[in-house]
Amino acid sequence: MILDGRAPIGPIETQWERHCRDLKLINPANRRKYKIIVVGTGLAGASAAATLGELGYNVETFCYQDSPRRAHSVAAQGGINAAKNYTGDGDSVYRLFHDTVKGGDFRSREANVYRLAALSNNIIDQCVAQGVPFARDYAGYLENRSFGGAQVSRTFFAKGQTGQQLLLGAYSAMLRQIRAGNVRHHSRAEMLDIVLLEGEAKGIITRDMVTGEIRTHAADAVCLCTGGYANVYYLSTNAMGCNVTAAYRAYKKGAYFANPCYTQIHPTCIPVSGDYQSKLTLMSESLRNDGRVWVPIKKGDNRPAGEIPVVERDYYLERKYPAFGNLAPRDISSRSAKEVCDEGRGVGPGGRGVYLDFADSVRRLGENSVRQKYGNLFEMYERITGENAYAQPMRIYPAPHYTMGGLWVDYNLQSNIPGLFVLGEANFSDHGANRLGASALMQGLADGYFIIPHTIANYLAVSGPGKADLDNPEFAKAREDVNTFIAKILAIQGRRTANDFHAALGKIMWEHVGMSRSEKSLKTALRLIPELREQFWEDLKVPGGNADLNQELEKAGRVADFLDFAELMTRDALSRDESCGGHFREEHQTVEGEAVRDDETSSHVSAWEFRGGHEIPEMHKEPLVFENIKPAVRSYK
């Protein structure tokens, strides 16, 4: 089937405005008759819940954390882009749009990206009004900095904690609506299934993570704002609890999963230090503004960094990409780091690391200046590694960080299931095959504050209120299915822990479906994943029962979904026979090792439909048409 993203026709500059004019409205007095479920309370979920609550809808929110303020958006460090052009360096909505489409390696939907760029300015206004303490200059105006992959300074930031501050802004706005009675929130509640009535999304099943109770919730529409799936790699910069379960179970109910192979490996993370490692820590890539990336020219050069003279160092990003240098996009920087380490020139224990060196900046600006800009990051680095990065270079290595793929949505952010909307990282639409720095926060908030309030009304006005009834047997059936799934997990009583399986899966994915992929490696993964899954269902050990707080049970359910999802992701990577953005197929590269896209055959979104059990899913294509920005070879030289 050919999928239609239903983007409006006509000039891109006015598409959204014209589209809003055509969307149906719901009168303020009628809005409280509509119930909307929002799952996940990060930037997308909290901003959506707050705005829908303000409008007068009856909103119910869910998160697995003990408070919405802890959603992993909180960890974004660097900043948020907007086309304000406050610095007068030639930025515009068009340029942000252009950079984002190019950064995504021409695999995103133009109309969505333009809208995102246009709304970026409203986000900054909104956040400032909420009291988000963005950095200011001495005259009191907002400060900007440049960020990976951009040649203008358009990034707004709040120290190294921009995600935290934006999330707290959205969280506060949501709390105001809880206080006002428009939003009802459930913490420590995990969504385990979605309920469809006559093909439309009308409710969810949750597990109360304290009592184990399985609950049914009916609504007129459901918004999934459940983040990404980078934890399929086990080690990633995501929080321990981040998972694919909500999205994957929606997929099993018929929602299409788009471009699951697009994953972003972030270049500036602290390298792995041992087998017990539970997660990887990101160092904001804003560090690349003042740090220089290098490795020794000689293989196996074990001298301390300070004893290697400049002429024996390879500043490989500056050498290969003189125009962008250390600010080259994430996929390019990550792959280059892997390359030099594969050549045996990596630094630190195990040789999986490259230097990020601040010596020149300290000399140029003084240690105090560097401390002022990055002090908290240097402290964090020291806490984790025990090393002082003012005196010796940091060691960094790429780590899975963000996932551009997600549930397929149309221009209204509605999946192919009517009534099921998907926001933020959980959807697929805006970043194509690679996301530029400081644009995830932008997308989460654009979706939640400024897009969903308009588009969901259009659906609700047509479908009408109060169609879902908890007495409908579909709810009882879905609850039964969830209970059966949990009972099945508890009954295995084998020998290996959920963590053990998760780590094993992560190893397969990192090795074979990681930074670079080949037909051979992907086929190997397609053999190994089902084997591991089989072992999981035979040899898993989960102690305790379902009737109280059971963290092993929570983990096991998520790992079960990752084991299924990993196969889908691998299949997608195999079918995408080109290199683009974060998806690098070894078969498709230039002699210099740059990615080679195939616009003839692969300029499309791959949206996968579940076919039951472990049948091969069916792929639907949404053709990508570029009317405003001509696809070109993405060059950062």
CB 492 within 8 A of CB 501: no
* CA dist., res. 23 & res. 456, Å (int): 9
Question: What is the rounded distance in angstroms from the CA atom of residue 402 to the CA atom of residue 490?
Answer: 31
Q: Is residue 350 near another protein by the rule CB under 8 A?
A: no
Is residue 307 classed as helix, strand or coil in its secondary structure? Answer: helix
Of 501, 500, 509, 624, whose CA–CA distance to 569 is shortest? 509
Q: Pick from 4, 13, 89, 125: which binds another protein (CB under 8 A)?
A: 125
Beta carbon nearer to another protein, 276 or 309: 276
Other C-beta atoms within 10 Å of 596: how many? 14
Name which of 301 and 552 has its Cβ closer to another protein.
552
Candidates 41, 58, 65, 155: give the one binding another protein (CB under 8 A).
65
Q: Distance between CA atoms of 278 and 280, rounded to whole angstroms? A: 7
Give the residue, chosen from 83, 96, 124, 422, that forms a contact with another protein under the rule CB under 8 A: 124
Catalytic residue among 31, 330, 571, 585: 330
Q: By C-beta, is 366 or 544 nearer to another protein?
A: 544
CA-CA distance, 441 to 425, in Å (whole number)?
9
Closer CB to another protein, 165 or 429, in the complex: 165
Positive/negative CA dihedral, 365, 361, 164, 445: positive
| Residue 330 known to be catalytic | yes
- Minimum CB distance to another protein, residue 267 (Å): 17
The verdict on 240 binding another protein (CB under 8 A) reads: yes
- Closer residue to another protein (CB): 122 or 628: 122
- 66 or 360: whose CB is closer to another protein? 66
Task: Determine the interface stretch with another protein among 70-78, 305-313, 464-472, 602-610 (rule: CB under 8 A).
Answer: 70-78
From candidates 41, 165, 361, 521, binder to another protein by CB under 8 A: 165
Spatial distance between the Cα atoms of 395 and 287, rounded to a whole number of angstroms: 12
Q: Does 187 bind another protein (CB under 8 A)?
A: yes
The Cα 254–Cα 264 span in angstroms is 26
Footprint (CB under 8 A) of another protein, residues 546-565: 548-549, 551-552
Task: Report the site for another protein in 492-531 (rule: CB under 8 A).
Answer: 495, 497, 499-500
Alpha carbon distance, N-terminus to C-terminus of the chain:
39
User: Residue 164 or 264: which CB sits closer to another protein?
Assistant: 164
CB 218 within 8 A of CB 203: yes
Binding to another protein (CB under 8 A) within 381-400 occurs at 383-384, 386
Instruction: Specify the 3-state DSSP secondary structure of 602.
Output: helix
DSSP character at residue 547: S
Q: What is the smallest separation between the CB atom of 394 and another protein, expressed in angstroms? A: 15
Q: How far is the CB of 314 from another protein (least distance, A)?
A: 28
176 binds another protein (CB under 8 A): yes
Site for another protein in 31-50 (CB under 8 A): 47, 50
Does 278 sit near another protein (CB under 8 A)? yes
- The label of the residue with tokens 């050069």 reads 301
Looking at 10, 14, 181, 277, which residue binds another protein (CB under 8 A)? 277
**Among 7, 37, 83, 173, which residue sits at the site for another protein (rule: CB under 8 A)?**
173
**Helix 110-130 and helix 162-179: axis angle, to 10°?**
70
Listed ranges 95-103, 505-513, 542-550, 598-606: which one lies at the site for another protein (CB under 8 A): 542-550
Among positions 247-276, residues that touch another protein (CB under 8 A) are 273-274, 276
Residue in 20, 23, 128, 532 binding another protein, rule: CB under 8 A: 128
Task: Give SS3 for 248.
Answer: helix
Answer for the pair 395, 385: CB distance below 8 angstroms, yes or no: yes
Select the residue interacting with another protein from 98, 279, 352, 467 (CB under 8 A).
279
Residue 59 near residue 182, CB atoms below 8 Å: yes
Task: Give the shortest CB-145-to-another protein separation in angstroms.
Answer: 15
How buried is residue 466: exposed, middle or buried, by Cβ count under 10 Å (0-12/13-18/19+)? exposed
Report the run of H or E that residue 61 belongs to, with start and end.
strand 58-62
Q: How far is the CB of 349 from another protein (least distance, A)?
A: 9
Single residue of 6, 11, 89, 133 touching another protein by CB under 8 A: 133
Host H or E run for residue 28: helix 28-31
Q: Per CB under 8 A, which region of 176-184, 199-207, 563-571, 616-624 contacts another protein?
A: 176-184
Q: How many residues bind another protein (CB under 8 A)?
A: 80
Report 134-163 residues binding another protein (CB under 8 A). Answer: 134-142, 158-159, 161
Nearest to another protein of 44, 573 (CB atom): 44
CA triple 383-385-386, angle to 5 deg: 65
Neighbours of 217 (CB within 10 A): 22
**Residue 403 and residue 230 in contact, taking contact as beta carbons nearer than 8 Å:** yes
Angle ∠(577,582,586) on CA atoms, nearest 5:
45
- Is residue 342 within 8 A of residue 335, CB to CB? The reply is no
Query: Which residue, 493 or 635, is less far from another protein as judged by CB?
Result: 493
Question: Residues 172, 463, 518, 589: which binds another protein (CB under 8 A)?
Answer: 172
The region of 60-68, 198-206, 424-432, 470-478 touching another protein under the rule CB under 8 A is 60-68
Stretch that binds another protein, among 226-234, 375-383, 387-395, 458-466 (CB under 8 A): 375-383
Pairing of strands 35-39, 58-62: parallel
The residues that are catalytic are 330
